[in-house]
């Protein structure tokens, strides 16, 4: 990598958790220089401005989650296994997600909804991509006969996303991780109920 590429990557990695915790509006230039140890000139010599840093930071934060989830889903051999991979991955990552300020999709969606069109589009694209992935899994499961044929893939996908994102938010705001675990248990039951054979028993978390 060229020196400029190394510097850009350092800026992204160091500022990503700052943007995720403080948001776009709450993150100052001083925060960026403090996080990176670089001067204003060094940062803006590699990026056109705060907007470009924020967009790159969002992509970085998102990739920390989606890469793990995609790997787990790809390793599963059944539709239900792939759907459960999302639950298990988010459950395994929940501690890290919570410690670094929450899910970047939710954080960015809330802050940028009416204030930052470019960031809002990034968050919207992430949700749409997630929805399409789930829909693809469900459609494949229906085609192979593993899942019921009366499922509406879009409805199921949106419900899963809403529960996972909502559970992260509620658990963090209320400082109670059990709320997240309870919500994930319900998602597991929902996935089991998609199977052709009907609802399968799910063991309760200890």
Residue 202 has what pLDDT? Answer: 37
Residue 204 has what pLDDT? Answer: 39
Residue 18 has what pLDDT? Answer: 96
Give the distance, in angstroms, between the CA of residue 35 and the centroid of all CA atoms in the same chain.
Answer: 23
Instruction: Please list the alpha-helical segments (H only) found in 3-152.
Output: 3-26, 29-36, 40-46, 50-75, 79-99, 104-112, 117-143
| Residue 70: half-sphere exposure toward Cβ, Cα within 13 Å | 10
Say how far apart CA 179 and CA 205 lie, in whole Å: 12
b or e along 29-44 (b: 16 or more beta carbons within 10 Å of the residue's beta carbon)?
eeebbebbebeeeebb
Mean pLDDT by groups of 10 residues along the chain of 206 residues: 86 96 93 95 92 96 96 96 97 94 93 87 96 98 96 97 97 96 98 76 40
Residue 1 has what pLDDT? Answer: 66
Q: Which CATH code is given to the segment(s) 58-192?
A: 1.10.357.10
Residue 129 has what pLDDT? Answer: 97
Whole-prediction pTM value? 0.89
Output the six-digit token pair for 195: 């199977």
Residue 197 has what pLDDT? Answer: 67
- Residue 138 has phi, psi (to 5 degrees) of -65, -45
3-state SS assignment for residue 127:
helix
């Amino acid at each position: 990598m060229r020196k400029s590429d190394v510097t850009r990557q350092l800026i992204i990695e160091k500022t990503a958790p700052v943007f995720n915790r403080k948001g776009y509006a709450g993150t100052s230039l001083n925060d960026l220089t403090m996080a990176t140890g670089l001067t204003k000139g060094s940062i803006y010599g590699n990026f056109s401005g705060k907007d470009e840093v924020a967009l790159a930071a969002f992509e970085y934060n998102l990739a920390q989650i989606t890469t793990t989830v995609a790997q787990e889903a790809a390793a599963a051999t059944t539709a239900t296994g792939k759907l459960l991979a999302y639950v298990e991955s988010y459950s395994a990552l929940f501690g890290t997600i919570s410690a670094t300020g929450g899910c970047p999709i939710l954080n960015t969606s809330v802050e940028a909804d009416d204030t930052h069109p470019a960031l809002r589009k990034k968050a919207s694209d992430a949700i749409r991509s997630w929805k399409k992935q789930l829909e693809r899994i469900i459609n494949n499961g229906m085609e192979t006969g593993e899942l019921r044929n009366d499922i509406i893939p879009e409805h199921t996908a949106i419900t899963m996303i809403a529960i996972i994102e909502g559970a992260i938010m509620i658990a963090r705001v209320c400082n109670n991780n059990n709320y997240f675990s309870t919500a994930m248990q319900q998602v597991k039951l929902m996935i089991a109920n998609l199977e052709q054979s009907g609802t399968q028993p799910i063991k309760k978390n200890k």
